[in-house]
Structure 1
C-alpha cells in the first residue's frame, strides 16, 4: 500500500501537464485534410467542365461539317452547266454495300441523263467485278435511260481492269475504249466456299446441324457436299452464266468475234480484246471527251460518300455486312 503514496514515483506527476497542450493537434490535421480535399475537388470539377466543353465543341464541329457537306452537295447538284461530258466512275468491287453499288451508280446515271448539258455519259471502269445482281440492275437502268433519251450515248472507258461484272456493265455501252495493256474479259461465274469435313474428322469434332427442309443445309461448309446439291448449285451458276453471255452478245452484236474461249472465263489484254471484238478501240477519257463526244469539259457525277454517311457507318449502320458476307454468294470475278 505504501508504494502508491511514495513521493519518489515520477510517472504520474508530470503527465497531465505534458498532454494538455497537444489536444488541439487533431483539429489542425483535420483542417489541412479538408482543405486539401476541397482543393482537389475544385480542381477535378474544373477539369471535368473543360472536358465537357471540349466534347461539346467537338460535336458542334461534327454537326457543322455534316451541314456543310450536305449544303455543298446540294449546291454542286444544282449548279448550272454548259455542254460537257458526264463522267461516272465504277471503281473497285461492284456490291450492294460498296461505292460501286447499283443504288449509287443508277442515281448518278439518272442525274447525268436528265442534265441537258451532258452530251454523253462516260463510264470509267477500274473493277475486278462483283455481284451479278448489282451489275444487272445497273445494265437494266442504262438500257431504260437510253430508251428515254435516244440521242444520248453511253461510252465505257476501261483503264486498269474491266473484268467479269465490270465487263457485264461495259457490254451495254455504245462503244468500249481501252488501253492496250488493260485487262478485259473474264466472262464467267463462280460460287466459292470451303469444306471442313475432313479436318473435323481428324480433330474429332462432330457437326450437329438440325434443319427443317431437306435442302436447308445446302453448301454448308461443315457438312459433306452431296451429288444432288452440287448439281443444283452448278445448274444455278450455269443459268447466270447464260444470262451474262446474252448481255454480251446483245451488247456487242456483230462486232463480237466469238471463239470457243470467249465465254470460258479467260481474260485478255486490251490489244487482244480489240482484235476479238470484245471492245472497240484504244482511247482514254480525255480522248473520248475531246474526239468522240466533242465536249472536252468533263463533269463528275459519281456519288461521293459524305461525312454523314461515314459517321453512320462508323456508329453501326453497316452492322449486318459481315454476316451477309459470311453466308457467301455468287460473284462475277
Structure 2
C-alpha cells in the first residue's frame, strides 16, 4: 500500500488530506445539511399554519368592520368593471347587501359607485336583489356616484331610492354594445386560410376569422336591442316620474352630474358623508364591502390563468358600456 511522506503527499505526487481534517469536513457538511433541512421544514410548517388559519376564518376580511347594533350607515362600494371575474360581481356584492340589510343597526344602505359599466347579467342580478331586500326589510337605499356611474353601473343605481352625484360625475350611457374584431381581410393578405368546421348552421356566429353575414348581423342586433329594452324598462321603473325622457335619454349618451340631475337621471348633488349625515341621520359609516381573505388571495396568486385574458380578448361580448 502506498504511504504518504512527511509532507502529506503520496509517492506519485497526489495530495492526501489528514484523516482528522477529513472527519472535520464531513461533520461540518452533515451539520449544514441538517440545518438546511430544519429550515425547510420550519418554512413548510409556517405555510401550512398560514393556510389552515386562513381557511378556518382566522383572517377573514369579508367586511371592513364587524357588525354592530349601534346606529350607522351601511356602505357598499361598487368599483371598476362589473363582471363575474372582478371584485364588483353579483355573488359577493349580494352577500354584502344581505349582511347590511339584516343588521339591525344599519339605518340605510349607501351604494358608493365608481364604475364605467360591464355585464348586464351581473347588473340585473344586483338590481333585482336590491329591490327584493328593500321590500323585505323596509330600509332605504341611496346611490352615491363618484367619477363614473355609467351603463351597467347606472343599471344598479336605479334600484336605489335616490341617486346622488357630483356635479362633474359621468352619468348615463343607457345602451348596449357587442364588440369584437374581424380578421378576414388581414388573413387574405397573409395568405392564411380559415378552416372552420361546425355542426349547426349558426355555430360559427360572430367568429372573428369568418365573414359576418347579413343574417348573423341581424340576429346579433335583435339580441342586443332586446337587452337594451330590458335596460330601458329597469330605468323607467326605478326613476318613475322623476325621469324627463328625451330623444337622447336611451341613446347611449352620457352627461355630467349637474345635467343628470336636470334630466331626472339623478336626484341631487351630494357625497357619502353628506348623505350619511343629512339624509340617513347616522354619521357613523360601516363598510360592508366584501374583501378577499388570505386563502382567496393565495388561490388567486398561484392559480391565475395567464392565457385567459388573451382568450377573452378574442371573443365578442355583450356589455353595458
- Whether TM-score is above 0.5 comes out as yes
- Does 1:182 find its partner at 2:169? yes
- Does 1:308 find its partner at 2:267? no
Residues 306 and 28 of structure 1: CA distance in aligned 2, closer, same or farther (over 3 Å): same
- Does 1:262 find its partner at 2:261? no
Give, in whole Å, the separation in 2 of the partners of 1:252 and 1:187.
Answer: 13
Of the three residues 111, 115, 124, the one matched with 2:112 is: 124
Give, in whole Å, the separation in 2 of the partners of 1:284 and 1:74.
Answer: 25
What is the number of residues matched between the two proteins? 314
1:97–1:321 contact (8 Å) kept in structure 2: no
2:183–2:208 contact (8 Å) kept in structure 1: yes
Of the three residues 216, 220, 224, the one matched with 2:211 is: 224
**Residue in structure 2 matched with residue 214 of structure 1 by the alignment:** 201
Residues 41 and 164 of structure 1: CA distance in aligned 2, closer, same or farther (over 3 Å): same
Give, in whole Å, the separation in 2 of the partners of 1:146 and 1:83.
Answer: 18
- Does 1:63 find its partner at 2:51? yes
Cα RMSD of the aligned pairs, angstroms, is: 2.9
| Stretch moving more, 263-272 or 24-33 | 24-33
Cα deviation digits, residues 161-207 of structure 1 (max 9, x gap): 00000000001110000000111011000000000000000000000
Of the three residues 96, 109, 113, the one matched with 2:97 is: 109
**Residue in structure 2 matched with residue 173 of structure 1 by the alignment:** 160
2:61–2:290 contact (8 Å) kept in structure 1: no
**Residue in structure 1 matched with residue 285 of structure 2 by the alignment:** 298
Of the three residues 82, 87, 93, the one matched with 2:81 is: 93
Alpha-carbon deviation of 1:40? Answer: 7.6
Alpha-carbon deviation of 1:38? Answer: 3.6
Q: Tell me the secondary structure at the aligned position of residue 77 of structure 2.
A: strand
Cα deviation digits, residues 267-319 of structure 1 (max 9, x gap): 10000000000000000011111101111111111101111111111221667
| CA radius of gyration, larger in | 1
Give, in whole Å, the separation in 2 of the partners of 1:75 and 1:229.
Answer: 46
Of the three residues 256, 259, 267, the one matched with 1:280 is: 267
Q: Tell me the secondary structure at the aligned position of residue 96 of structure 1.
A: coil
1:192–1:328 contact (8 Å) kept in structure 2: yes
Alpha-carbon deviation of 1:85? Answer: 0.6
Residues 201 and 123 of structure 1: CA distance in aligned 2, closer, same or farther (over 3 Å): same
Give matches, 1:125-204, under 5 Å: 125-150=113-138, 152-204=139-191
Q: Which structure 2 residue ranges, 5 or more long, are not aligned?
A: none
| Stretch moving more, 19-28 or 246-255 | 19-28
Residues 73 and 194 of structure 1: CA distance in aligned 2, closer, same or farther (over 3 Å): closer
Residues 320 and 80 of structure 1: CA distance in aligned 2, closer, same or farther (over 3 Å): farther
Which structure: greater helix fraction?
A: 1
1:186–1:265 contact (8 Å) kept in structure 2: yes
Of the three residues 59, 82, 88, the one matched with 2:70 is: 82
